[in-house]
Amino acid sequence: MAFLDVTDLEISYTVGSRTLKAVDGVSFSLRQGQSMGVVGESGCGKTTIAKGMMQLLPKNGRISAGSIQLKGKELVGLKPEEVRRLRLNEIAMISQSAMNALNPVYTVGDQLIEGIMAHTRVSKKEAYLRAVEVFSMVGLEEKRLRSYPHQMSGGMKQRAVIAMALSLKPSLIIADEPTTALDVVVQDRILQRILKIQKEINSSMIFITHDISVVSEICDTIMVMYGGKVMELSATDTFFRNLYHPYSLGLQNAFPSITEMDEELISIPGSPPDLIDPPVGCRFSERCPFATSHCAQKRPSLVEVAPDHFVACHYTEKVDEFRKKARCNETWETVRERMTAERRFEGVQTNV
């Protein structure tokens, strides 16, 4: 039994009279102390997974199938009261706009102490000492506990929110783009701090980001998502040495690197699929330069291409050819041409 086991997780949103599966059959597991990076474009379902695990889905969203087991305990279907007890104690979340989530009329310290006291049986004094301790872990002075949010910079607020999330030493940290709005220097320090604390309290972490280079620096494993599905799942260093999935190859091409000279950036033409009416076959087939008619009809399942390296593609045996061709702009141009032709065709149809 792993520390965290997510099996065939499905999360749906109701939009008008229709249902949209934002997360569709996602499975992964995590050992204690391990960190996993989840990457993908907007709308791939990465934030929905985080909200689903925290049971913080909006009213029109629900977990429609699958299970989430934390230390053997099933989280799906728990009563709100039980979930509330779990939050902060066992699972804590650091979200992207967390720094705007602070209440402007209370001091940061009051908010931190309130959280600690709501979830543990400690005196106010003990809670205060705990607050000082976690503040020093994120590099904030004790006197900052008496500050109001508006007296702090963005980076400081984000650190205060991280301190809050980690105040009860949760066994699972879910970080959803915790540094996206911050400057690189601040981002770097905050990432190092999160990483250090995560190792110190030996908790597991799910780190959600659109930036694969951040994952490369701080996570043990990586999960690439597209259109609500897992495309590739692997240990981080094997992933960056041996990419398999055409989508991962596309992402790598699209990323400017600070170390490489004379690189050419190639983007992935098109945009993510409409999940109300998703493609029957592989979700990436519309934008994939290597897609065949088989890809459009049959959905690939995750196959293990190397130990603990899983890829959802029908043509994993052609990976050498894919890797070579994916470096050429012409390869991806074919997708763009295909799409322009289709759009013209649709345009003609609607005009008629």
Partner 1 sequence: MYEKPLIQINHLKKYYPVKKRLGEMFKKETAYVKAIDDVSLVINRGEILGLAGESGSGKTTTGEIIVRLQEESEGEIIFDGHPMSAKSKEERKRFRKEIQMIFQDPYETLNPRFDIYETIAEPLRIHGMKDKNQIYEKVVQALEVAELKPPELYLNSFPHELSGGQRQRVAIARGIVLDPKFLVADEPVSMLDVSIRADILNLLKRLRRDMGLTMLYVSHDLSTIKYLCDRIAVMYLGKIVELGPVDQVLSNPQHPYTKVLLAAVPVANPDHVKERLLIDDEVPDQINLPIGCRFIPRCPFVHERCSQCTHELHEYSPGQFSACLFADKEQVLNPDRILEE
Name the residue nearer to partner 1 (CB basis): 55 or 285. Answer: 285
| d(C-alpha 208, C-alpha 202), whole Å | 19
Could you tell me if 250 and 332 are in contact, meaning their C-beta atoms sit under 8 angstroms apart?
yes
User: Binder to partner 1 among 58, 258, 277, 307 (CB under 8 A)?
Assistant: 258
Name the residue nearer to partner 1 (CB basis): 84 or 210. Answer: 210
| d(C-alpha 20, C-alpha 227), whole Å | 11
User: Binder to partner 1 among 203, 204, 236, 248 (CB under 8 A)?
Assistant: 236
Query: CB of 175: closest distance to partner 1 in angstroms?
Result: 15
What φ, ψ does residue 76 adopt, rounded to 5°? -75, 130
Query: CB of 91: closest distance to partner 1 in angstroms?
Result: 26
Judged by DSSP in three states, 110 sits in helix
Residue 338 makes contact with partner 1 by CB under 8 A: no
Query: CB of 68: closest distance to partner 1 in angstroms?
Result: 27
Name the residue nearer to partner 1 (CB basis): 70 or 161. Answer: 161
Name the residue nearer to partner 1 (CB basis): 271 or 297. Answer: 271
Name the residue nearer to partner 1 (CB basis): 193 or 327. Answer: 193
Q: What does the per-residue mask of binding to partner 1 show for 187-226, with x meaning CB under 8 A?
A: xxxxxxx--x-------------xxxxxxxx---------
For 149, the token pair is 């949010």
Could you tell me if 234 and 309 are in contact, meaning their C-beta atoms sit under 8 angstroms apart?
yes
Angle at 215 between CA 214 and CA 221, to 5 degrees: 170
Name the residue nearer to partner 1 (CB basis): 304 or 337. Answer: 337
Q: How far is CA 122 from CA 113, 173, 201, 220, 312, in A?
A: 10, 22, 20, 35, 48
Angle at 65 between CA 33 and CA 284, to 5 degrees: 80
For 27, the token pair is 């499975």
For 11, the token pair is 């999360």
- Spell out the residues 6+ positions from residue 271 whose beta carbon is closer than 8 angstroms to its own: none
Query: CB of 30: closest distance to partner 1 in angstroms?
Result: 20
**Candidates 90-98, 116-124, 244-252, 295-303; binding stretch for partner 1 (CB under 8 A):** 244-252
Query: CB of 211: closest distance to partner 1 in angstroms?
Result: 7
**Candidates 9-17, 121-129, 236-244, 313-321; binding stretch for partner 1 (CB under 8 A):** 236-244
CA 311 vs. chain centroid, Å, equals: 18
For 9, the token pair is 């997780």
Residue 47 makes contact with partner 1 by CB under 8 A: no
- Helices of type H across the chain: 46-54, 80-86, 108-119, 124-137, 154-166, 184-200, 212-218, 236-241, 246-254, 293-297, 319-326, 329-351
Residue 71 makes contact with partner 1 by CB under 8 A: no
Work out the burial of residue 122: count CB atoms within 10 Å of its CB; fewer than 13 is exposed, 13-18 middle, 19 or more buried: middle
Name the residue nearer to partner 1 (CB basis): 100 or 340. Answer: 340
Residue 136 makes contact with partner 1 by CB under 8 A: no
Residue 169 makes contact with partner 1 by CB under 8 A: no
User: Binder to partner 1 among 186, 201, 296, 302 (CB under 8 A)?
Assistant: 186
User: Binder to partner 1 among 261, 307, 320, 345 (CB under 8 A)?
Assistant: 261
Name the residue nearer to partner 1 (CB basis): 129 or 254. Answer: 254
Q: Write out the residues near partner 1 by the rule CB under 8 A.
A: 41-42, 139, 153-156, 183-193, 196, 210-217, 236-237, 240-241, 250-259, 261, 263, 265-269, 271, 340, 343-344, 347
